[in-house]
Amino acid sequence: MIEITYFMQRVIAGILFVLAAPLIGGLLEGIDRKISARMQGRKGPSILQPFYDVAKLVKKQLLAVNNLQLLLVTSYFLFMVFTGALFFSGCDILMCFFAMSTASMFLLLASTSTHSPYSTMGSHRELIQIMSYEPMVLLTAVGFYLASDSFKVYEIVQSDRPTILFAPGFFLGFVFILTIKFRKSPFDLSTSHHAHQEVVKGVTTEMVGLQYALTELAEWYENVFLLGVVGLFFVSSNPWSYLAAVIAIAVVYFIEILIDNVSARVKWQLMLKMAWGMTLITGGLNLFILDLIR
């Protein structure tokens, strides 16, 4: 009976993510815009502006370069929702990262299916970004396993001590690659939240209306999932650890906004070197130390 009740709690948590993530993600986007505007000496738009933008996109006429593009964009959205639902329902974190990578590949394929020179250029850069952050993502899953002897999220949160005590290097490496995942400067090579970059909008150049709305919603789902992983480093069986997780998420998100506003975009070669170097130094060193003390 207890197992059935706990299973239902996990199912409810997954459903709540599906329903609440767009609201949380949209608010985070609005807060991002507001803080960025204040850093630049502007008033900035309303915090609710991202919701207005998505609603406006949904009302536009549905246009697609081809039917394959619409299918791939929809698949990207569904896999991103599936990724977060897996995570917040307490499933295998390694499976969550694999699902996220699959979603990224659908976005990449959707971009290349248009045969637009801007989309193609953005697709090539997106592939390089995936190459840059993927090693650290996989090492993060390994770090959680070494710290808690489990890949299961529901078992990680029941640990006596938070993962951050055993995996500070994995945490620093993961926070570093979040700048790439959040598509923030200096690593917003494939697409940007600003329309005036040299490749127009990169992978999303040929997406309009409902398609573009789906990509925006998928990013909101992804951002909530990624910040959930940040919080997972601090969560343990102690109820107060959830407060620590929320504080850590707020600090990390603010740092990402700050980096975005004080950095200029770098070339892909430097991004690749920095990401792999950070992975090797933080993740590799932490992995070596954990292997010695186990």
The larger pLDDT score, comparing residue 188 to residue 276, is at 276
pLDDT, tens digit (0-9, with 9 covering 90-100), for 171-199:
999 999 999 999 888 888 777 665 555 55
Q: What distance in Å separates the CA atoms of residue 260 and residue 119, rounded to the nearest whole number?
A: 23
Buried b (16+ CB within 10 A) or exposed e, 18-51: eeebbeebbebbbbbbbbbeeeeeeebeebeebb
Within 8 A by CB and 6+ apart from 123, the residues are: 108, 111, 112, 190, 203
pTM for the whole thing?
0.92
How would residue 4 be classed by pLDDT, with cut points 50, 70 and 90? low
Chain mean pLDDT for the chain: 87
- CA dist 192 → 94, 107, 122 (Å): 28, 15, 10
Asked if 86 and 95 touch (Cβ cutoff 8 Å), the reply is: yes
Give residue-wise pLDDT tens across range 12-56.
888 999 999 999 999 999 999 999 989 988 888 889 999 998 899
pLDDT of amino acid 138: 92
